[in-house]
Amino acid sequence: MENFLPKGKKQIKNKALALLLITGAVYFFLRFISPLLTPVMLAAIFLTLCYPTFDDIQKKTRIKKQYLASGILLLLCMVLIVLVWMGGSLLLRQIPIWVEETDHWQEDIRQVVKQGCENIEDIFGIRTNNLSRSITEQVDVWIENFQVQVLPNVLGESWGYIRHLISIIAVLAVTMIATVLLAKDYDAILSMVGAHRESRLILEIALRVIRYLAVYIKAQLLIMLLIGTVCVLFLSLARVENGWIFGIAAGLLDALPFIGTGVVLVPLAVWQFIQGYYGRALLCVGAYVVCMLIRQFTEPKLIGKEAGVYPVAVLIGIYGGLKLFGIAGIVKGPVGLVMIKEAYAVCLRLVDEKNQKDYDKEKDFGQEEEL
């Protein structure tokens, strides 16, 4: 049947089949292979991005590249471990304080709800007795669940948190070892890979994906810094108590898709409104809207423009990655999209080269027959 298809339809069918196979291979790699090779992949990405700098430093200082790479990684790991340790220690110290203060919180929230309902009644002329009673009952239920369920579960999972921390430290340690080993033989590995055409094509795809990763991380850090600055400015202008802390938290949480700054700014706006600070609530909402616009317009342009991917494709990649891989899909989705794009481009290039060779052979054969 396939032999009777027109040539154009055959090519379309072959391209669609190639795209489907490439997509399946990328999914299999991201789902099953990449978790097993995470330390080696992190080491390869780190070296690829920093190797030219390490090479220049080695020429000037005679310090070997593997020592430079391991030293920088060790410093980064120490900073990360210290930050995680400080955050965990602070959380463990705060939990007993939260337990003791829950009764005070309950009474404070009741007073705030009562005051907020009175403000609504004064402004709109609506009786809010039932609303106040309903909210107060829900607050009591929430406080009780927090005391009976949430806090015991947090304390009960402490060993699980320690296991996760140990696993992260283990990954970092293996990554450091892999970086030292790869840095030592990096030039030899590149020479060996460059000796074969097939491996050169794989290396070309890998380098483009790594370049995209660098662009992606740079864009996320830039957007988080920009949004954090905007939040701090808005909340400081609104004179919200500890506004700079909320602003920094909003900037950091903005990296989480579909949650972002809203998890900080929306409850903060509601709280300010209930307390009767309508101007502060309006500024909190304004900060949230501005932050949403910044991410929606800046992220696709920064990532898509640098990586050669359409902005809407970046958004689809993030959404699809979340559906397929969970929270790791924030990175795996766009990276998988770039892998499919680059592998498909290489595949089309190989097909074009083959068609050109076949055309040249037919042309030479025709000229020989004429002679």
Count the neighbouring beta carbons within 10 Å of the beta carbon of residue 127: 11
- Tokens read off for 204: 């070309």
Whole-number CA gyration radius for the chain:
28
**C-alpha dihedral (34, 36, 41, 43), degrees to nearest 10:** 160
Q: Angle, nearest 10°, between helix axes 65-124 and 38-61? A: 120
Q: Which long-range contacts (CB under 8 A, 24 or more apart) does 77-80 make?
A: 77/169, 77/172, 77/173, 77/176, 80/172
Which tokens belong to 168? 């992260």
Structure token digits, residue 99: 């337990």
| Residue 277, Ramachandran bin (φ over 0: left; ψ between -120 and 50: alpha; else beta) | beta
**pLDDT at 31 (0 to 100):** 92
pLDDT at residue number 269: 86
Specify the amino acid at residue 237: L
pLDDT of the residue at 1: 43
Q: What is the 3-state secondary structure (H, E, C) of the chain?
A: CHHHCCHHHHHHHHHHHHHHHHHHHHHHHHHHHCCCCHHHHHHHHHHHHHHHHHHHHHHHHCCCHHHHHHHHHHHHHHHHHHHHHHHHHHHHHHHHHHHHHHHHHHHHHHHHHHHHHHHHHHHHCCCCHHHHHHHHHHHHHHHHHHHHHHHHHHHHCHHHHHHHHHHHHHHHHHHHHHHHHHHHCHHHHHHHHHCCHHHHHHHHHHHHHHHHHHHHHHHHHHHHHHHHHHHHHHHHHCCCCCHHHHHHHHHHHCCCCCCCCHHHHHHHHHHHHHCCCHHHHHHHHHHHHHHHHHHHHHHHHHHHHHHCCCHHHHHHHHHHHHHHHHHHHHHHHHHHHHHHHHHHHHHHHHHHHHHHHHHHHHHHHHHHHHC
Q: Give the pair of three-digit tokens for residue 236.
A: 């400081």
Of 245, 300, 351, which Cα lies nearest the Cα of 11? 351
- Given this model, what pLDDT does residue 352 score? 75
Domain ranges (residues) in the chain: 64-196, 204-357
Distances (CA, A) of 345 to 59, 88, 198, 307, 359: 37, 46, 14, 14, 21
d(CA 45, CA 208): 11
Q: Judge if pTM exceeds 0.75.
A: no
- Please, are residues 324 and 27 in contact by the beta-carbon 8 Å criterion? yes
Question: pLDDT tens per residue, the chain (371 residues)?
Answer: 444 445 556 667 778 888 899 999 999 999 999 988 888 888 888 888 888 888 888 888 888 887 888 888 888 888 877 877 777 777 667 666 666 666 676 777 777 777 777 777 777 777 767 777 777 777 777 777 766 666 666 666 666 667 777 887 888 888 888 888 888 888 888 888 877 777 888 888 888 888 877 777 778 888 888 998 999 898 888 888 778 888 888 888 886 655 678 888 888 888 787 777 888 889 888 988 898 888 878 877 777 655 566 767 777 888 888 889 887 888 888 889 888 988 898 888 887 777 766 656 666 656 655 55
Helix axes 38-61, 158-184, angle to 10 degrees: 50
Q: Give the model's pLDDT for residue 5.
A: 45
pLDDT at 4: 44
Q: pLDDT at position 21, please?
A: 92
pLDDT for 153: 67
Q: Alpha-carbon distance 314 to 298, whole Å?
A: 12
